[in-house]
Amino acid sequence: MRPITKGEWPIGPDGHPIDFFEHGEARPELIQRIGDYCSYCEMHLPYLHVEHMQPKGVVPGVALNWNNFLLACPSCNSIKGHAYLNINDYYWPDTHNTHLLFDFLPGGIVVMKSGYSADIDTTRVENTFKLTGLGRYAHNTTIDDRRWLKRKEAEDKAVLVALHYYVSCGMPESYIPSIVSMATGSGFLSVWMKVFESYPEVQDALIEGFAGTYPNCLTGNINRL
């Protein structure tokens, strides 16, 4: 799950925080700051829902609250559901370094890591994994849930690009902007980071290239300071 920096509540032309009358009004600002990627599965989509971390309607005041907004694809939005949840039972991409939570295996498969540092609450990771349904693939997903297929497509592309980068002679670093362009067009930063894990120069460019990615995701702890 790509950790993001959403930033402070947007300021309107009058110099005051914007009063949202409808949550969809926050979409352009969110897309400008964190890119048009689902905040949970990282899918690149032209149309994303403005997602409420705490579902709107269950707690007063969260429906139009910038601090409660993320972007989500229809699958993540649907799977996450609309029931009350305790925010502190989960890790969130805009407040935690969620780069540390999951591993991305060949075949577009997402799993919990085999071990976590002492400052990461494993139960909280499990809750986050279940809430978003990121472990669904092939046999255990539905025809409408295309997240696994799209993740696998991104992985296939990243592997081909990495092979080309690996075998290219001369000045391979000149190829990095093209890699970033292809990656941002296909989404799933975490997949590209995994495929290019032996190439820190590419990883750094990817982190910079995906709008709003938490810049210290490779070195920071789960709790950002």
Backbone angles phi, psi at 141, to 5 degrees: -125, 180
| Residue for token pair 């409408």 | 144
By C-beta, is 73 or 217 nearer to Zn ion? Answer: 73
- Restricted to residues 166-205, the positions that interact with Zn ion (CB under 5 A) are none
By C-beta, is 78 or 95 nearer to Zn ion? Answer: 78
By C-beta, is 53 or 76 nearer to Zn ion? Answer: 76
Is residue 73 involved in binding Zn ion (CB under 5 A)?
A: yes
Indicate left, alpha or beta for 178 from its phi (over 0: left) and psi (-120 to 50: alpha): alpha
Nearest distance in Å: CB 148, Zn ion:
11
Q: What Rg value do the Cα atoms of the chain yield, rounded?
A: 18
By C-beta, is 96 or 202 nearer to Zn ion? Answer: 96
Q: Could you tell me the two tokens for 153?
A: 């497509």
Count, residues near Zn ion per rule CB under 5 A: 5
- Restricted to residues 8-47, the positions that interact with Zn ion (CB under 5 A) are 38, 40-41
Is residue 62 involved in binding Zn ion (CB under 5 A)?
A: no
* Single residue of 48, 53, 76, 180 touching Zn ion by CB under 5 A: 76
Instruction: Cite the beta strand spans of 143-195 per DSSP E.
Output: none
Establish how many alpha carbons lie within 13 A of residue 137's alpha carbon, considering only the half-sphere containing its beta carbon.
17
Classified as helix, coil or strand, 171 is: coil
Segment near Zn ion (CB under 5 A); pick from 74-82, 97-105, 116-124, 177-185: 74-82
Is residue 161 involved in binding Zn ion (CB under 5 A)?
A: no
Nearest distance in Å: CB 11, Zn ion:
29
Indicate left, alpha or beta for 93 from its phi (over 0: left) and psi (-120 to 50: alpha): alpha
By C-beta, is 90 or 165 nearer to Zn ion? Answer: 90
β-strand pairing of 69-72 with 49-52: antiparallel
- Residues of the shown chain interacting with Zn ion in the complex, contacts defined by CB under 5 A: 38, 40-41, 73, 76
